[in-house]
């Protein structure tokens, strides 16, 4: 397969249109080159695919159901199907990628996994898979995030991972990323850097999208004779959206909608709407759309949802949006909270705050009668109960 059959794949230079690439320090060239040269060969092996699919099935509980949301569909006058990534082990889609990359790391002879995490969700998924596969696991986390996300810190420790606090800079995700990169430079032989979204230098975005593509692979099968008209997903770095869009992207008759967090609102400076408001620049090793000042300082993002609170969007999505294949929409903090309540009361499903942004978009779209919509329900809301409880109390 040499022909480029899917826009979710980068070109030979690691780019999606003008976005992507691998902008990395000299000291990382060997690690990245190794990964670029070896990952496709390993991942395409039948034995690898079998192990990957086996774990997705017997460990994570896949295939996740496709649920027809009857009450919401009736209210909207359209057919809404929920792809239930919330029913995965650890409560979100992130485990799909963590399993894939951990198996890849083992094939490459690595015994040690490092990761960085902001909210802790990716850290928990990584720690889980490392416990399962007996890999050493170190998770870098800003000291501010450690305070804010203590339940997830406890989970990672319970699972046997070492959580290393980062006290430099703003003591958040950006600084944790720098520390993880430093670690990788110092341990190039033993260590795999497990990145949690479709971000970072090539081949990470392509690799993460491929591991998450199981989402749309199953959706297509589960829809059977039903033709999807629209697929909707929330987007932080872009991994659940990439997985949900993957097998639909070449079918132009399917509308793809990515929903990003606009925080307090697009007109404020407290937002995470990097595709809508961002400009081209380099963040975490790739060229993409990001929130920055005129002189190129990365701006701090804001979203009520920790998983969407990121100043950039993955390069593949930057390209899909700029080339008009993916339509971008936004939802504010308040719209997301309201949408989560709506979903909980109508369908008996408490979604993650990230997912709630995609749900909020449902209320803003004018649907054709009986239009078929697939919404990627990326995760469950247990982790967000404190925020939800406060919102209900203040009503
Ligand atoms: C992390 C997370 C997201 C955002 O990450 P993407 O890579 O954009 O998918 C969305 N939903 C849930 C439930 C998450 O945990």
Check if 200 has its Cβ closer than 6 Å to any atom of ligand 1. no
Does 3.40.50.1100 match the CATH number of domain 32-41+94-208? yes
Q: Is a pLDDT exceeding 50 seen at residue 210?
A: yes
Q: What is the pLDDT of residue 395?
A: 81
Question: Looking at residues 37-49, what average pLDDT do you find?
Answer: 96
pTM of the model as a whole: 0.97
Pocket test for ligand 1, best of 86, 118, 239, 240 (most atoms within 8 A of CB): 240
Least Cα distance to 161 among 134, 176, 188, 139 occurs for 139
Percent of the chain at pLDDT > 90 equals 92
Question: Looking at residues 159-165, what average pLDDT do you find?
Answer: 97
Distance CA 324, CA 152 (A): 37
Q: How confident is the model at residue 325 (pLDDT cuts 50, 70, 90)?
A: very high
* pLDDT, mean over the chain: 95
Least Cα distance to 235 among 146, 109, 328 occurs for 328
- The Cα-based distances of 306 to 25, 149, 282 in angstroms read 28, 10, 22
Q: Is a pLDDT exceeding 80 seen at residue 352?
A: yes
Atom of ligand 1 nearest to the CA of 379: 13
Which positions are annotated as active-site residues? 94, 116, 378
Query: Hey, what CATH topology would domain 59-91+211-393 get?
Result: Rossmann fold (3.40.50)
Within the chain, which residue ranges are assigned CATH 3.40.50.1100? 32-41+94-208, 59-91+211-393
Q: What does the pLDDT look like over 136-158, one tens digit per residue?
A: 999 999 998 898 889 999 999 99
Q: What does the pLDDT look like over 222-261, one tens digit per residue?
A: 999 999 999 999 999 999 999 999 999 999 999 999 999 9
């Amino acid at each position: 397969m040499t022909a480029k059959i899917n826009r979710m794949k980068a070109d030979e230079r690691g780019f999606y249109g003008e976005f992507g690439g691998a902008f990395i320090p000299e000291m990382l060239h060997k690690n990245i080159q190794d990964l670029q040269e070896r990952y496709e060969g390993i991942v395409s092996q039948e034995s690898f695919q079998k192990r990957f699919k086996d774990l997705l099935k017997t460990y994570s509980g896949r295939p996740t159901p496709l649920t027809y949301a009857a009450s919401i569909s009736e209210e909207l006058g359209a057919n809404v199907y929920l792809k239930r990534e919330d029913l995965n082990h650890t409560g979100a889609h992130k485990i799909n990628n963590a399993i894939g990359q951990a198996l890849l790391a083992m094939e490459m002879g690595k015994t040690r996994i490092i990761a960085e995490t902001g909210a802790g969700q990716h850290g928990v998924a990584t720690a889980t898979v490392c416990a399962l596969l007996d890999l050493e696991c170190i998770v870098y986390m800003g000291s501010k995030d450690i305070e804010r996300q203590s339940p997830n810190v406890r989970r990672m420790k319970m699972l046997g991972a070492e959580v290393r606090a980062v006290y430099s800079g703003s003591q958040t995700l950006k600084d944790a990323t720098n520390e993880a990169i430093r670690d990788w430079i110092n341990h190039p032989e033993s260590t795999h850097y497990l990145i949690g979204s479709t971000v970072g230098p090539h081949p990470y975005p392509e690799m993460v999208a491929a591991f998450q593509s199981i989402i749309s692979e199953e959706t297509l099968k589960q829809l059977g004779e039903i033709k999807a008209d629209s697929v909707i997903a929330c987007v932080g770095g872009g991994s659940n959206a990439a997985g949900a869009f993957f097998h639909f992207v070449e079918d132009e008759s399917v509308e793809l909608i990515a929903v990003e967090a606009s925080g307090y609102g697009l007109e404020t400076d407290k937002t995470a709407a990097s595709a809508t408001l961002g400009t081209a620049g380099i963040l975490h090793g790739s060229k993409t759309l990001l929130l920055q000042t005129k002189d190129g300082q990365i701006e701090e993002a804001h979203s009520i949802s920790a998983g969407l609170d990121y100043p950039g969007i993955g390069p593949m999505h930057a390209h899909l949006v700029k080339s008009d294949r993916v339509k971008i929409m936004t939802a504010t903090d308040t719209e997301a909270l309201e949408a989560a309540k709506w979903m909980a009361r109508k369908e008996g499903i408490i979604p993650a705050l990230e997912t709630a942004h995609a749900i909020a978009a449902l209320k803003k779209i004018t649907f054709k009668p009986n239009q078929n919509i697939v919404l990627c329900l990326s995760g469950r809301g247990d982790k967000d109960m404190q925020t939800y409880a406060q919102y209900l109390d203040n009503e």
